[in-house]
Amino acid sequence: MAPSVPRTRAVDAICMKQIGLDNQDRTIRRLRSQLATERQRLAATKKELEETRVALEASHKVIAGLTEIGLSMSKIIERMKAKKQQVRANHVECHQNFQARIHEAEDSMQAQHLLIEALVDEKDNLLQTIHGLQEANNAPAPFDGDWEEEPEEEPEEEEIEDIPLGEGEIDD
C-alpha cells in the first residue's frame, strides 16, 4: 500500500491543482467578461462624454454669439439714449429760443402800442392847442369840427369771409 499512497497523494495534488486551475480559468473568464462589459460601458460613457463635450462647445459658441449680440445691442441702445437726450436738449433749446422771440415780439408790440398811444395823445394835445389858438385869434376852424379819430386797431386776427365760388373758379 505504500506505493499507492504517494501516488494517490500525487494524483490528489494534481487533481487539487487541476481544480484550482479550473477555478482560476473560470475566474479569469468571468473577469474577462466583466472587463469586456466594463470596456463597453466605458466606450459608451466616453462616446456620451464626447457628445456632451461637442454640445457644450456648440452651446458656448451660441452663448458667446448671444453675448456679442447683447453687447452690440447695449451699445446701440446707449447711442440711441444719448441721441434722444441730445434731441431733447435741442428741442428744449429751440423752445426756449422761440419763447424768447415771442417775448421780444410781445415787448416790441407793447412798446409800439405805447408809442402809438403817446402819439395819439400828442396829436390830441396839438389839435386842442391849434383849436385854442384859432379861438384866440378868432379864426375859422379849418376842420369844421368834423374831426373823426381813427379807430384803434385791435391786435385780433381778421376773419376771412367765405366768398362763394362762381362757375369756372378754382378753389385753392
Q: What is the pLDDT at residue 138?
A: 79
Alpha-carbon distance 92 to 98, whole Å?
A: 10
Handedness of CA 113, 118, 119, 123 (dihedral sign): positive
Q: What is the pLDDT at residue 154?
A: 63
Contact between 80 and 126 (Cβ < 8 Å): no
First-last CA distance in the chain: 149
Contact between 134 and 140 (Cβ < 8 Å): yes
Q: What is the pLDDT at residue 19?
A: 94
Q: What is the pLDDT at residue 165?
A: 56
Alpha-carbon distance 61 to 58, whole Å?
A: 5
Q: What is the mean pLDDT of each run of 10 residues along the chain (172 residues)?
A: 66 91 94 95 96 95 95 95 95 94 94 94 93 82 56 58 56 52
Task: Please tell me what DSSP assigns to residue 26.
Answer: H
Alpha-carbon distance 18 to 24, whole Å?
A: 10
Q: What is the pLDDT at residue 146?
A: 54
Alpha-carbon distance 123 to 129, whole Å?
A: 10
